[in-house]
């Protein structure tokens, strides 16, 4: 990712909002990550939405699809404003609706309706977006946007002398959406059944629709539908309303996945009686409360923009998927009572984003785990990347890690017996057709993938590269998930299961090739597979067995078994030397998640000072408070979560362990307000861009000798104090991880 500088600390309450001092929301720049740059491309969008909002609203500079998001900073025109559910660049949208302000002749396709704009006219914050659209010689349209959890609120100011038009696009060409008008109620209603990545999962979901209700505050001169007579949906479909020249029109748009009636109820509950400024003020307060859980004391404005924008990005997902006590299930295609969430990018977010939520939004954790368990009841498995249904994207069953982490940290608001059933099935039941499919990346219309290759894993202790795609990566990640299942079994008093899965979690060691000093895939006859990232192009399959990487990227991936890896490599010195080769050889690719914990691994080998230098180096290189300031898809907040933990000075290498490895805090003082009312203050005395090395540390005045802090120590609050210097020290160098011991 991107660039940073000095130090950080977390604190209680809200930031001052005097004329001289801005509050936390004011520092957020939601354009960060929207531009391709020398650093990279974050694939983010300037969303206006509450934390975890069901529908995100953003200006649309291009037509989004899988691999393209709605907004790109370098585009010169805006074709509308979309209520989107696309969570990441590599995922699709579903049930979206688009709002287009316009003057002049009716133009419905994106090319003809696009209007030029300048970034100088843009304001992009979590609670508010504003832009001036240069519509013609007749003048410009000022567009303003704010939102609630399920609704968007637009204020369009049309130029004098020009009839204002608001178009509601229900669906694009090829999609049989629907729109209708009600002149008396000043409403446009309809639905969009499109799921862009429906081909990546096993479920057809014939009942799925994204519903909307649009209500205008002034009586239109005319209201009409368009494209509805096109039986084949060759054109887009929608409706529009036209207004007297020069008016300012307030447009309330509600969304639902249950029905048009439910969308109308959402509108009536959330925005019907509130004006634009009142809705914005409420949203501003919601964000300020969350953002202010972290306080950066004394940093420059660019540092605060970097940090608070990262918090904003980290609190967008998983998104709410329920509507006042009911939700549509994208797993059995029915309506249920209860609370639900979706957009769990679990392969990415189990690493640090989920751990950050246990600190910044613990009130959501029980509901999020419950949502995964509801998915299990309704679809047969906990999902790995619901959007909103199964997509079979990425590998392993890291929902097991989320459950284990929640139990380890004492969350009790979900059904633990049901959780055990879900993780046990993940660990023990192969997917349908396991030995007859290769389970290729993004293979279309397959059964739910779960732990692909589990049949072989149980028989051989590894997944063979000649039988299952991405087999080496799967073996290592499944081993970690086995460790998580073991921890759940232990917490629930299932001793035999605990021993079984703990022993099986050591399967990662079966892939260590001592001749290479690296992990290496194996074929079904026990021979070593090719080590690189080669693919058999004729069959579109991985022959070396890796997922988005190679042996260097994956050797240290078993978070739970670094002690075992130390032993396999011949001790701490060899372990550290191999890490040096990993970094010097250019194998650490921070833009992708498998590399995220690598900077912290020197702690395990007795060289914490190397961790301290490395994580500061990565932060400075990969993050910046500019539109191009994210190196790689933010992946539902994981990239941002890495930055926030690194800024604080600790990171959850093994997220389900409840332990955080210490790095090098980026700022002189940062503080974190905890849900229990306590505050953890992180102080880094003498911290600077060159003073990155810890000389000594105390926790609440007591000497801290190990490069580790626990969940309990964080929850206790107090002061984590570091003395920093420009030269490496031996602080924390005697600590080693405890080996896994399997009792009989």
State pLDDT tens for residues 389-438.
999 999 999 999 999 999 999 999 999 999 999 999 999 999 999 999 99
Q: What sign has the CA pseudo-torsion 702, 359, 308, 275?
A: negative
**Residue 543 confidence (pLDDT):** 67
Backbone angles phi, psi at 47, to 5 degrees: -75, 140
Note the pLDDT of residue 9.
31
CA dist 378 and 490 (Å) reads 27
> Can you give the pLDDT at residue 670?
97
Average pLDDT in the 555-559 region?
97
Average pLDDT over residues 529-554: 72
How far is residue 208's CA from residue 191's CA, in Å, rounded to a whole number? 10
Give the separation between CA 684 and CA 686, rounded to whole angstroms.
6
Dist CA 431 CA 418 (whole Å): 19
- DSSP calls for 395-446: SS-THHHHHHHHHHTT--SS-HHHHHHHHHHHHH-PPTTTTT----TT-TTP
DSSP class of residue 68 equals B
- The full set of domains in the chain, from first to last, is 54-289 (2.70.98.10)
Nearest CA-CA partner of 467 in 546, 391, 522 = 522
Cα–Cα distances (Å) from 214 to 53, 166, 207, in that order, read 18, 10, 22
- Distant-in-sequence, close-in-space partners of 616: CB < 8 Å, separation ≥ 6: 663, 664, 666, 692
**Confidence band for 532, pLDDT divided at 50, 70 and 90:** low
pLDDT of residue 542: 58
With a pLDDT cut of 90, the percent of the chain lying above it is 91
- Higher-pLDDT residue of 116 and 533 is 116
* pLDDT exceeds 60 at position 212: yes
Contacts of 232 (CB under 8 A, 6+ apart): none
Largest CA distance in the chain: 85
Q: How far is Cα 118 from Cα 228, in angstroms, rounded to an integer?
A: 34
335-337 vs 164-171, strand pairing mode: unpaired
Distance of alpha carbon 146 from alpha carbon 282, whole angstroms: 10
Whether 603 and 662 have beta carbons less than 8 Å apart is answered as yes
Residues forming beta bridges with residue 730, ordered by sequence position: none
Strands 80-84 and 97-102 come out as: antiparallel
Mean pLDDT of 547-553: 92
Most confident listed range (21-30, 90-99, 541-550): 90-99
Helix (H), strand (E) counts: the chain: 19, 34
Report how far residue 348's alpha carbon sits from residue 331's, in angstroms, rounded to the nearest whole number.
22
Query: Please, which residues bridge with residue 181 across strands?
Result: 188
pLDDT of residue 314: 98
Over residues 157-174, mean pLDDT: 95
> For residue 1, which of 39, 47, 54, 49 has the smallest C-alpha distance?
39
| E-state strands within 501-642 | 512-513, 518-519, 535-536, 541-542
Retrieve residue 693's tokens: 């090395």
For residue 98, the Cα-to-chain-centroid distance in whole angstroms is 23
Tokens of 688: 């600077």
Is the link from the previous residue into 318 a cis peptide, with omega within 30 of 0? Answer: yes
> Do 37 and 2 form a contact (C-beta atoms < 8 A)?
no
Tokens encoding 612: 């301290």
Structure tokens at 26: 């004011």
Between CA 255 and CA 713 the distance in angstroms is 42
Give the E-state strand segments of 194-243 in sequence order: 210-216, 222-226, 237-243
* Region 117-131 average pLDDT: 97
Mean pLDDT across 104-132: 96
- The CB density around residue 228, as the number of other CB atoms within 10 Å, is 18
Enter the pTM of the model.
0.94
Which has the closest alpha carbon to 197: 97, 94, 98, 63? 94
Q: List all residues 6 or more positions away from 18 whose beta carbon is below 8 Å from its beta carbon.
A: none
pLDDT value for 136: 76
At 18, the pLDDT band (50, 70, 90 cuts) reads: very low
Return mean pLDDT, the chain: 94
What is the tens place of the pLDDT at every residue in 284-325? Answer: 999 999 999 999 988 899 999 999 999 999 999 999 999 999
pLDDT exceeds 60 at position 475: yes
209 vs 544, higher pLDDT: 209
Residue 20, pLDDT score: 44
| Average pLDDT of span 588-612 | 96
The pair of three-digit structure tokens given for residue 741, joined into one six-digit string: 């011991």
pLDDT of residue 5: 31
Q: Is the pLDDT of residue 516 over 70?
A: yes
DSSP helix/strand/coil, 69:
coil
How high is the pLDDT of residue 21?
A: 64
Q: What is the pLDDT of residue 10?
A: 30
Binning pLDDT at 50, 70 and 90, where does residue 567 land? very high
Closest residue by Cα to residue 696 from 686, 299, 710, 688: 686
Is the predicted pLDDT of residue 357 greater than 60, yes or no?
A: yes
Strand partners, 151: 254
pLDDT at 45: 97
């Amino acid at each position: 990712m991107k660039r940073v500088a000095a130090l950080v600390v977390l604190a209680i309450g809200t930031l001052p909002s005097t004329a001289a001092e801005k509050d936390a929301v004011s520092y957020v720049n939601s354009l960060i990550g929207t531009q391709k740059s020398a650093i990279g491309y974050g694939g983010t969008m300037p969303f206006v939405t509450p934390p975890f909002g069901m529908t995100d609203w953003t200006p649309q500079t291009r037509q989004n699809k899988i691999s393209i998001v709605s907004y790109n900073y370098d585009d010169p025109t805006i074709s509308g404003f979309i209520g989107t559910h696309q969570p990441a660049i590599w995922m699709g949208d579903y049930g979206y609706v688009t709002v287009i302000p316009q003057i002049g002749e009716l133009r419905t396709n994106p090319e003809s309706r696009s209007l030029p704009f300048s970034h100088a006219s843009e304001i992009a914050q979590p609670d508010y977006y504003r832009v001036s659209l240069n519509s013609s010689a007749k003048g410009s349209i000022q567009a303003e946007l704010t939102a609630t959890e399920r609704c968007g609120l637009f204020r369009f100011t049309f130029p004098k002398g020009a009839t204002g038009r608001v178009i509601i696009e229900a669906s694009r060409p090829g999609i049989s959406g629907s729109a209708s008008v009600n002149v008396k109620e000043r409403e446009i209603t309809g639905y969009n059944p499109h799921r862009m990545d429906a081909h990546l999962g096993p479920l057809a979901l014939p009942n799925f629709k994204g519903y909307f209700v649009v209500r205008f505050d002034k009586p239109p001169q005319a209201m009409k539908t368009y494209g509805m007579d096109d039986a084949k949906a060759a054109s887009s479909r929608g409706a529009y309303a036209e207004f007297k020249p020069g008016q300012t029109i307030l447009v309330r748009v509600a969304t639902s996945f249950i029905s048009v009636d439910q969308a109308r109820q959402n509108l009536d509950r959330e925005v019907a009686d509130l004006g634009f400024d009142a809705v914005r003020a409420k949203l501003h307060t919601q964000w300020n409360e969350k953002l202010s859980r972290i306080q950066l004391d004394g940093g420059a404005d660019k540092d605060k923009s970097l940090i608070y924008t990262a918090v904003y990005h980290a609190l967008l997902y998983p998104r709410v998927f329920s509507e006042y006590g009911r939700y549509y299930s994208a797993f059995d295609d029915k309506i249920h009572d209860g609370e639900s969430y979706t957009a769990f990018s679990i392969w990415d977010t189990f690493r640090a984003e989920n751990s950050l939520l246990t600190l910044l939004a613990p009130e959501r954790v029980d509901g999020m785990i419950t949502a995964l368990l509801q998915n299990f009841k309704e679809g047969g498995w906990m999902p790995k990347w619901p959007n909103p249904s199964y997509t079979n994207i990425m590998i392993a069953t890291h929902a097991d890690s989320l459950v284990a982490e929640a139990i380890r940290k004492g969350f009790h608001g979900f059904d633990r017996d049901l959780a055990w059933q879900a993780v046990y099935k993940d660990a023990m039941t192969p997917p349908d057709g396991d030995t007859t499919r290769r389970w290729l990346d993004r293979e279309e219309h397959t059964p739910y993938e779960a732990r692909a290759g589990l049949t072989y894993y149980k028989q051989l202790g590894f997944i063979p590269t000649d039988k299952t795609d991405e087999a080496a990566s799967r073996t290592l990640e499944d081993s970690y998930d086995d460790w998580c299942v073991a921890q759940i079994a232990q917490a629930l008093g299932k001793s035999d299961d605990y021993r079984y899965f703990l022993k099986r979690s050591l399967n990662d060691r079966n892939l260590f090739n001592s001749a290479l000093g690296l992990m290496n895939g194996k074929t079904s006859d026990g021979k070593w597979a090719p080590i690189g990232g080669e693919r058999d192009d004729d069959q579109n399959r991985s022959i070396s067995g890796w997922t988005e990487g190679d042996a260097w990227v994956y050797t240290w991936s078993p978070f739970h078994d670094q002690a075992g890896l130390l032993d396999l490599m011949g001790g701490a010195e060899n372990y550290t030397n191999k890490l040096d080769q990993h970094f010097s050889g250019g194998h650490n690719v921070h833009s992708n998640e498998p590399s995220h914990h690598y900077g912290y691994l020197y702690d395990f080998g007795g060289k914490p000072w190397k961790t301290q230098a490395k994580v500061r180096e990565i932060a400075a290189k990969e993050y910046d408070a500019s539109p191009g300031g994210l190196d790689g898809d933010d992946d539902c907040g994981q990239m941002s979560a890495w930055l926030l933990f690194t800024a604080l000075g600790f990171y959850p290498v093994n997220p389900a362990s409840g332990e955080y490895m210490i790095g090098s805090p980026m700022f002189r003082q940062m503080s974190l307000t905890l849900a229990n009312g306590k505050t953890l203050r992180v102080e880094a005395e003498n911290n600077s861009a060159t003073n990155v090395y810890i000389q000594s540390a105390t926790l609440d005045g007591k000497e801290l000798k190990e490069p580790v802090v626990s969940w309990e120590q964080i929850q206790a609050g107090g002061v984590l104090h570091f003395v920093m210097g420009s030269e490496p020290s031996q602080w924390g160098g005697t600590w080693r991880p405890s080996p896994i011991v399997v009792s009989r």
